[in-house]
Structure 1
């Protein structure tokens, strides 16, 4: 070897000696938080529930419902009328004082009371639906944090493999059996693995913050600390079966149907000619100062000739018929969707176990032996690169299968409760759920009463 070649090889080797000693890799790993608090799914749900309960959504709705119930019990206000004719002292004068009270003969007030009661039942069910949505949203964020942890650990393991490869390639280069370009390729690949590790660390911090945001404490240091086998949503099948027995949306449709029936009853009562009772006193005074008082009682009945609420009844009856058809259609379609998702989940679990228990151990073994053979001069650099790439692909396939498994599990659990998966499977799901709830509270109607 010439003196110039030796100098060039030494110049190339010295800046990357830190890789061989592990100092740079240690510096990269040390950027991760040293301490983290393990967090179970139930702990995450409990913290989120306590924080969201402080917003007093349901206290407000219950207060409105109670006011509506009291309002629906009120009778319509009576009307006082006073009339006088003749104001001069030499004129005949007549003073009429009367009170008119609308009567509720056909049960309009009773129908409003039933509507107010249904509104209270809907709020009680809404609260259960909200809690189910909150639990699913937290479960989604919790799973994303756990998967981010596993993904970072896999990238870390791959980075360690990359360092071992680089060390072996540098030794072969120093021995004169590899070209400088091979070392540069290994350096570039290792630098990319370092970037991926830092990116995985950032994703992990973001996932931790997104989860902790739902209980109002942005925390980057929370962690799930579960192995991939324990993290797989194996309980999803049983959870779906339990949920199907208590499908909240199905119960909500039943309440909607009852509410529609009561709305029809209220319109029918309103369409009937409820009379108004009139009572009063007529007092007359002649110019000769003679007075006469008479007590007057009368009854006025509206003539429902034009407006008999006929079109309003048609609208409510059309809604009622649609709800009945929708109920049967929903039950069938929902069951089919859940069955498909559970089939997919079962197939993904078989693949996940195959990758985790067979493919990854085999890929690790192949990569390790290939690297040993390369160090001994029995294998080419391309063999090491191929074995390393296969190991990386298998490890990433494991993470992807875990992501797909959680997606299918959460979709099935959501549908089994009658909840749209899109409503709970996003980083902003809790904020959107709360926003919709605030809008629903503002839109709550006043039921019953009247002037």
Structure 2
């Protein structure tokens, strides 16, 4: 990664000074030397290394272990019976009254499978958490991949700006020689100085983008590393594996799997409502003890065992409307699943088609336009030095070369954006969430909130 030390101070030009050409040359040489030293101390970082470092750091919160413990406890809770009720009743408190003491225990029975339905919901909740962990992992990898690609593209842009800065310096030297020979006006030299100063500023800007992208990438594994670089050639940087990756992702679309789990949850909720709608009996067991009053001729105490069953009369509330709502949700989820799969396939196909078109343009730039524009610029500069071309010809050829080079950078940016979008959609993820600057921070925030919101499923009271 290039570092520009003290650049803002050394690039403050006085355009009226006649020795500006040597000052600009010294500035450029210092700038290039600084960049060369900085790059010699950097460490190349592959995408796999970046993902591994991020995963190791993000797992330190143990949030998924916490969710697993909660889901395990939920499953155990759903297996518990409803607590029995103890009732104690006594009649007669005066000495002249018969005393009757009743002690009873009531135990609701699960005849129609309410506990079984609660257990199924608890298991589905665990499956949802497992799926969310896989979604988190996929989002994490795609977010790191996007940040890594941005760093690589900004490195390429800085390299191109460095090359353009050298072209600008060569132009300035040639214009200054023509001026010293008396064939150009002072205003032509001043324009060349202004153009070169702008190229210096653009190099500063490109170098700053690299520094920020480096920090942003290293932040996701909890560091602020300034000594990493990707260092790929433009050809190696093109997302060639996007099509193959999308095909693999379509077989494990998380949005589809999530909807499948939602359908199962809707069915389990329906089963739970059906079980609750049936009259589950309550078993009553107790002892009835009767003690005669002191004035009674009977002195013995009678003790009787009492056993009974109480059955609720589900006459009015049979959960009929709750089941109607659950059924409507289940039907809608099935329709949504079919609709989503079709629309998602169309979106992914469009993105891949666009990516193919961008690749054709990129190869045309690489193989034809850039070599031709470079050749034209060099020949124009040679012709200008020999007095055959005007300053405007050199400026036009230089500007054309710069525009084509920047077009290559833009094509790479567009290609990576389309590739990340296609891979995200093929996994059932939202691309904007993956490519956001604070994507991983938002992902962690959502996971923590989901953990706190995990319900307690089933169980006794």
Tell me which interval the TM-score lies in, with the shorter structure as reference length: over 0.9
Deviations 1:137-160 (A, max 9, x none): 100000000001001111111111
Instruction: Pick the aligned partner of 2:396 from 386, 396, 404.
Output: 386
SS in 1 for 2:307: strand
Deviations 1:313-357 (A, max 9, x none): 122111111110011001111111111111100010010010011
Q: Residue 18 of structure 2 corresponds to which residue in structure 1?
A: 13
Q: Residue 156 of structure 1 corresponds to which residue in structure 2?
A: 162
Distance 1:14 1:326 in 2: 72
Deviations 1:245-274 (A, max 9, x none): 222221121111111111110111112111
The answer as to 2:453 corresponding to 1:448 is no
The answer as to 2:155 corresponding to 1:167 is no
Deviations 1:90-121 (A, max 9, x none): 32111000000011111000011111111122
The answer as to 2:120 corresponding to 1:117 is no
Q: Residue 76 of structure 2 corresponds to which residue in structure 1?
A: 70
Distance 1:85 1:404 in 2: 86
Instruction: Pick the aligned partner of 2:201 from 195, 209, 222.
Output: 195
Distance 2:447 2:178 in 1: 66
Distance 1:130 1:408 in 2: 21
Map 1:219-368 to 2 at 5 A: 219-287=225-293, 288=296, 289-368=299-378
Distance 2:79 2:402 in 1: 71
TM-score (norm 1): 0.95
Instruction: Pick the aligned partner of 2:380 from 370, 377, 384.
Output: 370
Instruction: Pick the aligned partner of 1:80 from 86, 100, 111.
Output: 86
Give the stretch that moved more between structures: 281-290 or 358-367: 281-290
Distance 1:307 1:173 in 2: 99
Distance 1:144 1:11 in 2: 40
Cα deviation, residue 133, structure 1: 0.7
The answer as to 2:187 corresponding to 1:181 is yes
Deviations 1:390-409 (A, max 9, x none): 00000000000000110111
TM-score (norm 2): 0.93
The answer as to 2:32 corresponding to 1:26 is no
Cα deviation, residue 18, structure 1: 2.2
Q: Residue 4 of structure 2 corresponds to which residue in structure 1?
A: none
CA RMSD after TM alignment: 1.3
Distance 2:246 2:458 in 1: 41
Distance 1:26 1:70 in 2: 71
Distance 2:34 2:279 in 1: 80
Instruction: Could you tell me which runs of 5 or more consecutive residues in structure 1 were left unpaired when the two chains were aligned.
Output: 1-9
Count residues with an aligned counterpart: 440
Deviations 1:292-319 (A, max 9, x none): 1111111111122232222221221111
Q: Which runs of 4+ in 1 moved over 3 A?
A: 29-32
Distance 2:129 2:427 in 1: 17
